[in-house]
Amino acid sequence: MPTIASRVKPALFSTSIFTEMNTLAQQYNAVNLGQGKPDADTPSDIIQRLIQVSQAGRYNQYAPAPGTPALRQAVSDHAARFYNLDIDPLRGVVVTSGATEGICASIMGLVDPGDEVIIIEPFYDAYLPNILMAQAIPVYVPLHPPTWTFDPAELRAAFSQKTRVLILNSPHNPTGRVFTHEELTLIAQLCIEYDVTVIADEVYEHLVYAPSQHVPIATLPGMFERTVTISSSGKLFNTTGWKIGWVSGPPDLIDGTYRAHQFITFAVHHLSQETIAYALHLPDTYYTSFQAGYAEKRNLILSLLAESGLKALAPQGTYFVLADFSDIFTGTSREFAHYLVKEIGVASIPPDSLYSEPHAHLGQNYVRFSFCKSDESLLQAKERLAKLKK
């Protein structure tokens, strides 16, 4: 009998938690604060641009494999404008099908079978299957609740002569942490000491709440030459459906990502690339009002969680918050998420699938809520969650 490959047989390759909770949200007509899918539509000038580009007649066929010249230039301009980084638009940028493909192509292009890859837990779910498909070995460093900080000794202990890559996600999904300069400096020192490459997943780079500040690890001394940085248009322009991401860094490492990318997707959606090249050049007012809008939503979700008896630390970045339900519910995070969606009518994400087995207990009292939702949805969630206290 034909069968599926053993590589995709482990349970972590079955339905992802995001799909599972979306299905339940639909089935129970719940307010969906699960998947990080913005309610707000793409800004209208960006949509107008997409229409113009699609009528131009030049952008309906394959794009160049590394990405369109306009978007690669825009990624380079953006890095110079916000971080004073010098990215070669020709050889230092690859445009990918979302950050998701950027992560996959970078792992495939930068990690050999048997290499160790350090990931910080809880981790974005795609990292682990990608590491396993590359036949590499995951090594886990947990963030400790309730402040979601790592223990420097545990971080150091994760490094070995076999460590090839560390995947760093800051601002961090799902905890909302933005790693401090001090934390990044320790990570950087260890990466330099052990000659490790960093895959920096910075898709929430523009979603940081004062006084926290996003410091790209590539800007730290000695780090640019060992870091590939991944970002995405999905978060910044409410275009998660366009799947436009990019990987940037030193040409010698980007070459690894590019070699893999050529044979994963070859090239990605041409019209969206031309449009995002325009969007990345929007004035600073776009970026500041984007942040300000989310700062308000963050206040709204924090107040509604507090009113429902859920404990949450204000996220420093991202549009996610982890809420501790232990004062009002006895059971696992998955049981609580199921209870919430079925009985209360609010969908969330239990973080158990974002952990290795030995550390899963650290997220056991928490569920993640996304607040990239309309105020109407958040207020509806508030009404429903108020029932929890009773």
Q: Can you give the binding site for ligand GLN, defined by CB under 6 A? A: 18, 35-36, 173
DSSP-assigned states of every residue in 214-264: ---GGGSTTTGGGEEEEEEHHHHTT-GGG-EEEEES-HHHHHHHHHHHHTT
Q: What minimum distance in Å lies between the beta carbon of 99 and ligand PMP?
A: 3
Helices (H), the chain: 17-27, 44-55, 69-83, 98-110, 127-133, 152-158, 181-193, 233-236, 251-262, 270-280, 284-307, 333-339, 375-385
Binder of residue 201, out of ligand PMP, ligand GLN, none (CB less than 5 to 8 A by kind)? ligand PMP
Answer for which of 59, 124, 150, 294 binds ligand PMP (CB under 6 A) is: 124
Q: Specify the stretch interacting with ligand PMP by CB under 6 A; choose among 94-102, 213-221, 249-257, 265-273.
A: 94-102
CA torsion sign for 288, 235, 98, 247 is positive
Q: What minimum distance in Å lies between the beta carbon of 319 and ligand GLN?
A: 9
Residue labelled with tokens 């009528």: 55
50 is written with which tokens?
């997409």
Binder of residue 212, out of ligand PMP, ligand GLN, none (CB less than 5 to 8 A by kind)? none
Sheet holding 163-169: strands in order across? 93-97, 244-248, 227-232, 197-201, 163-169, 116-121, 137-144, 149-150
Q: What minimum distance in Å lies between the beta carbon of 177 and ligand GLN?
A: 14
d(CA 329, CA 389): 10
Binder of residue 99, out of ligand PMP, ligand GLN, none (CB less than 5 to 8 A by kind)? ligand PMP
Q: Does 245 bind ligand PMP (CB under 6 A)?
A: yes
x/- map, 206-235, ligand PMP, by CB under 6 A: --------------------------x-x-
Binder of residue 28, out of ligand GLN, ligand PMP, none (CB less than 5 to 8 A by kind)? none
Answer for which of 67, 89, 98, 249 binds ligand PMP (CB under 6 A) is: 98
**Applying CB under 6 A, which residues contact ligand PMP?**
36, 98-100, 124, 169, 173, 201, 203, 232, 234, 240, 245
